[in-house]
Amino acid sequence: MPRLFCVALVLASGLLLGLASGASAQTPLDVDPYREAASRIIEAALADSAAYDRAAYMGDTFGHRFSGSQSLEDAIDWILDEMRADGLESVRGQPVMVPAWIRGQESVLMTHPRVEPLAMLGLGGSVGTTAAGVEAEVLVVGSFDELTARASEAEGKIVVYNVPFTSYGRTVAYRTQGAIAAAKVGAVASLVRSVGPVSLSTPHTGTMSYEDGVPRIPHAAITVEAAAMLQRMADRGEAPRLRVTMGATTAPDRLSRNVIGEIRGRESPQEVVVIGGHIDSWDVGQGMHDDGGGCVVAWEAVRLLHDLGLRPRRTIRVVLWTNEENGLRGATTYADSVGASGAANTQLAIESDGGVFEPIGFGVTGSSGVFETLKPIEALLAPVLAQEASQPIGIVSGGGGADIGPLMRQGVPGVGHRTANERYFWYHHTAADTVDKLDAGHVQRNVAAMAILAYVAAEMPQRLPQGE
Amino acid sequence: MPRLFCVALVLASGLLLGLASGASAQTPLDVDPYREAASRIIEAALADSAAYDRAAYMGDTFGHRFSGSQSLEDAIDWILDEMRADGLESVRGQPVMVPAWIRGQESVLMTHPRVEPLAMLGLGGSVGTTAAGVEAEVLVVGSFDELTARASEAEGKIVVYNVPFTSYGRTVAYRTQGAIAAAKVGAVASLVRSVGPVSLSTPHTGTMSYEDGVPRIPHAAITVEAAAMLQRMADRGEAPRLRVTMGATTAPDRLSRNVIGEIRGRESPQEVVVIGGHIDSWDVGQGMHDDGGGCVVAWEAVRLLHDLGLRPRRTIRVVLWTNEENGLRGATTYADSVGASGAANTQLAIESDGGVFEPIGFGVTGSSGVFETLKPIEALLAPVLAQEASQPIGIVSGGGGADIGPLMRQGVPGVGHRTANERYFWYHHTAADTVDKLDAGHVQRNVAAMAILAYVAAEMPQRLPQGE
């Protein structure tokens, strides 16, 4: 179906459903009917450390959960078994073909002005090198503009992007687009200063892109420390040289699965509140803040509602998408599988993919009225939200997530789970995104917040309006 | 000479000198005569980034400076050449035989409940293993007390000390003494959770001890992340197993040098203000906060005084001690070389070995009156000290340094350089103690502070009293 027509249809059905509910889109929800349920949810969530324990067990037992890896599929098998044991309904693995990039042995060796191995991580999707590697003098630049200005110096060199972290969105462009820009000016490889605000000699991996018609050159991340050193050496005219060796290969796509489980709605089971995170991670660390913790929080929120016997009007469906990191195949497969009618029947899509630190609320994106309707729910969340934070506490306007993006683009209201995540990019895509970075108390409070929002959205009488 | 007699002699001579100066020990120094010199020092120190540039060049060009390594001796050769070019007097390398511990190839592999390599660093002085390594189940303990209580479980195991960082002094005991305690209860190896408050999968090395009559077992540091994971696995009854492989060896002692340079005193050249840091580092990173930065700050302080033509009454001697980290051989050699008379003639010993962050002042240890005498100098330092800090700003009572310890124990008043070093133990003994952790402005302000203190101590009419 052409996208524009599809969106129009969805918008129309959303408007009709909104009108059919009899409630004005602008009417703030009366949350009094949900106060008792919210209290029970909070009490149950804070009674033990079940969610934290599951996240820790998953991280420790399976390690990373990279697309194409056996450890991801083992973790998925375990979750499916556990969800069935939890008593969730319609528990299933939804098949998804995912990319299989394999890192292999890799290194960056400084060969001049002295010999020293530099900590590094190849970037997902990069081509490899021969076993001898690629050795060349470096050209250190601080921006794409500088690369353009110095294009004549790049031929045969290894481009090093020494770009300090400002915001993720701005800085990550050098990771995703760096190899293309470097290859266009004749570089033989490119390296990016790791995308993070704090480094303890910490390489950050992540995905990267090539462009048709542009040579595919090896692309990897080095540490902030190494990039800064190469910059100083270049500034002193010492012409540093590096040898980049990467065994990276891309195998044929492999079978993975989205993990799905439900509490079937008691009145309108075809209407669905989707809640989830992405079960895949990068191939280092344990992927706890990104996004194992988010998955477990969403899953445990639904398990808790089930245990409390809270079966709402609509279906609550936990979806743990696969392959968010380097393909988004899980998200597109899920959206394709429900189709336009499924999107039209999706009351709300909630994603947790910004870390599981102290909960501060949710961010809402939707057509006029969605935010105003949901805003009063923050009164129910207050007992588990932070008392102080550097970001606004409560339900704010604006938010979402990569995995619910395909639904949101069809008009489904989207919600991003928000936590006090100032340190998120310290750990992001590194060996340090591990269980110890989770706080058990925070995890349990996030479970309560997610459960309350999902329950109220599934129980409230009115449909939320769809459309942009 | 028996130590007690020696101390008594030194105390007596100190008292005599104090009396001879005609000033009461309790009289605060009138700093007005030094205001103009202090202003000139500050202006010159802040005029460029010479000190930072030297520190950066040293770190980048030579890398780490571990006792017994060629890189340490190369760095020392460079400094001696530069000091001579600076015009310092009596520039010399003082021979010191230092230990030569060689790390070799090393690894810790978790073999159960899943296979994963764990980031690690062997500890300086540890024995190695066979090429096959030592493989055993782990016994995770949180304290020496717990190890004692569970001694019957330790036989044949690898003891893992999972001790959270509280203070360095308290936590480091598990690094220095852990192998002894583990061996006493029959362990085949021991691992310590790295001694640091923040980890991004960051192993910290450092020195460790054996005890005569106790078997020497391999001893290494793993990351906070890995120690916490092993703890969780043990708590879940999963009986994790590790294979520790270390190629560590200890070679015969090798020749190193203390680096010494002077501004000869114009009136009492035999009286000396000693100022310095330790030029050696661990064998990872660039040893910038520990203690390359401290060395350069002391050296540049003296170079600056020379350039300004400020030749004080007494000699100012910069000493960059070798082998502080794993032997303190440089400090003992220096103290032995000057002897009791040299100690008695040492007006003040100033050490920078706590990092080169934003300057906040100095800490003074000495007999009654030393602190009171020096306290007013903080008025001269004020323009370069931090305006706000979590620690007291100015000249405080209490301080010193490992390398000036042998002098202080002979009654020499000692001063420790203080900076806002909350992050010192983030980087300490890791690959992340690198040039980028220095701030050029902070370095220059520290040079000014060190130069002012050394100058005033060398120029003031009175001798500082000695003794405890």
Instruction: Compute, in degrees rounded to 10, the torsion defined by CA atoms A179, A180, A186, A187.
Output: -10
Interface check for B340 against chain A (CB to CB < 8 A): the answer is no
Tell me the per-residue pLDDT of B32-73, one tens digit each, with 9 for 90 and over: 999 999 999 999 999 999 999 999 999 999 999 999 999 999
From A233, A430, A436, residue closest to B60, measured CB to CB? A233
Tokens of B243: 């294979």
Q: List chain A residues with CB under 8 Å of B62.
A: 114
Per-residue confidence (pLDDT) for residue B468, from 0 to 100: 73
Tell me the per-residue pLDDT of B161-196, one tens digit each, with 9 for 90 and over: 999 999 999 999 999 999 999 999 999 999 999 999
- Structural contact between residues A197 and A423, judged by C-beta atoms closer than 8 angstroms: no
Per-residue confidence (pLDDT) for residue A330, from 0 to 100: 98
Interface check for A74 against chain B (CB to CB < 8 A): the answer is no
Alpha helical stretches, state H, B154-312: 168-171, 173-184, 224-235, 293-307
Tell me the per-residue pLDDT of B1-20, one tens digit each, with 9 for 90 and over: 333 333 333 333 434 443 44
Per-residue confidence (pLDDT) for residue B18, from 0 to 100: 39
Per-residue confidence (pLDDT) for residue A26, from 0 to 100: 65
Mean pLDDT of B427-440: 98
Interface check for B236 against chain A (CB to CB < 8 A): the answer is yes
- Phi, psi for residue B271 in degrees, rounded to 5: -90, 135
Please state, in angstroms and as integers, the Cα–Cα distance from residue A113 to each residue in A124, A137, B63, B149, following that order: 29, 10, 11, 53
Query: Chains A, B: CB contacts under 8 A, how many?
Result: 90
Under an 8 A CB cutoff, do A236 and B57 touch? yes
Per-residue confidence (pLDDT) for residue B26, from 0 to 100: 65
Q: With bands split at pLDDT 50, 70 and 90, how would you rate the model's confidence at A468? A: confident
Considering A106, A271, A300, A324, which one is annotated as catalytic? Answer: A324
Separation in Å, CA of A77 to nearest CA in chain B: 17
Mean pLDDT of A302-320: 98
Nearest C-alpha in B relative to A285: B201
Burial class from Cβ neighbours inside 10 Å (0-12, 13-18, 19+) for residue A92 reads middle
Mean pLDDT of A427-451: 98
Show the domains of chain B with their CATH numbers: 3-101+252-459 (3.40.630.10), 104-247 (3.50.30.30)
pLDDT at A431 over 80: yes
Interface check for B427 against chain A (CB to CB < 8 A): the answer is yes
Separation in Å, CA of A334 to nearest CA in chain B: 32
Could you tell me which residues come within 8 angstroms of residue B138 by beta carbon, excluding any fewer than 6 positions away? B157, B158, B159, B160, B191, B230, B234, B240, B241, B242
Interface check for A307 against chain B (CB to CB < 8 A): the answer is no
Q: Is A89 a catalytic residue?
A: no
Interface check for B422 against chain A (CB to CB < 8 A): the answer is no
Under an 8 A CB cutoff, do A434 and B229 touch? yes
Please state, in angstroms and as integers, the Cα–Cα distance from residue A35 to each residue in A42, A312, A376, A445, following that order: 11, 14, 12, 16
Q: Which of residues 381-420 of A touch B (CB under 8 A)?
A: none
Of the CA atoms within 13 Å of residue A356, those in its CB half-sphere come to 38
Q: List chain B residues with CB under 8 Å of A432.
A: 199-202, 225
pLDDT at A8 over 70: no
pLDDT at A11 over 50: no
Q: How many CB atoms lie within 10 A of CB B378?
A: 19
Distance in angstroms (rounded) separating the CA atoms of residues B278 and B259: 9
Distance in angstroms (rounded) separating the CA atoms of residues B95 and B97: 7
Distance in angstroms (rounded) separating the CA atoms of residues B445 and B448: 5
Q: List chain B residues with CB under 8 Å of A232.
A: 56, 60, 435
> Which residues of B are marked as active site?
324
Could you tell me which residues come within 8 angstroms of residue B346 by beta carbon, excluding any fewer than 6 positions away? B271, B272, B273, B274, B338, B407, B412
Residue (of B74, B66, B61, B63) closest to B103 by Cα position: B66
Distance in angstroms (rounded) separating the CA atoms of residues B12 and B356: 36
Strand-strand pairing, A268-278 and A189-193: unpaired
Sheet holding A359-365, edge to edge: A89-102, A249-263, A314-321, A268-278, A346-351, A414-419, A359-365, A394-397
Under an 8 A CB cutoff, do B199 and A56 touch? no
Sheet holding A134-141, edge to edge: A116-118, A106-112, A241-246, A134-141, A158-161, A189-193, A219-222, A120-122
pLDDT at A24 over 70: no
Tell me the per-residue pLDDT of B98-129, one tens digit each, with 9 for 90 and over: 999 999 999 999 999 999 999 999 999 999 99
Interface check for B113 against chain A (CB to CB < 8 A): the answer is yes
Interface test with A, best of B201, B229, B437, B438 (most A CBs within 10 A): B201
Under an 8 A CB cutoff, do A434 and B57 touch? no
Under an 8 A CB cutoff, do A202 and B201 touch? yes
